[in-house]
């Protein structure tokens, strides 16, 4: 099976979102106030860092992977 970095990033991001939602529900049931971060506001601020990381990674799809993650934050 051949899996690209983009597919792995998309899959693991989905698992993370589902896991976070489950944990948030558990905390709420116990009376804990859960705040949701405005992730979309952080994307433009993080973009220059991603470009630096991608430049140092020897993966042709590094920028595409980071862009896909950014899309999921919207």
Task: Name the CA dihedral angle for 48, 51, 55, 58, rounded to a multiple of 10 degrees.
Answer: 150
Q: What is the domain count for the chain?
A: 1
In the prediction, which pLDDT does 39 show?
82
In the prediction, which pLDDT does 36 show?
84
In the prediction, which pLDDT does 16 show?
92
Instruction: Please tell me which residue, 60 or 7, carries the higher pLDDT value.
Output: 7
State the Cα–Cα distance between residues 23 and 28, nearest whole angstrom: 9
Which domain covers residue 25, as residue numbers? Answer: 5-72
State the Cα–Cα distance between residues 19 and 40, nearest whole angstrom: 19
Tens of pLDDT, residue by residue over 10-56, are 889 899 989 999 999 999 999 999 998 888 888 888 888 888 888 88
Instruction: Please tell me which residue, 20 or 3, carries the higher pLDDT value.
Output: 20
């Amino acid at each position: 099976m051949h899996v690209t970095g983009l597919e792995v990033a998309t899959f693991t991001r989905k698992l993370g979102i589902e896991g976070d939602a489950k944990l948030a529900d558990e905390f709420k049931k116990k009376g804990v106030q859960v705040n949701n971060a405005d992730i979309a506001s952080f994307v433009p601020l993080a973009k220059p860092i991603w470009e630096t990381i991608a430049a140092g990674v020897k993966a042709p799809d590094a920028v595409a992977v980071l862009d896909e993650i950014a899309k999921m934050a919207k």
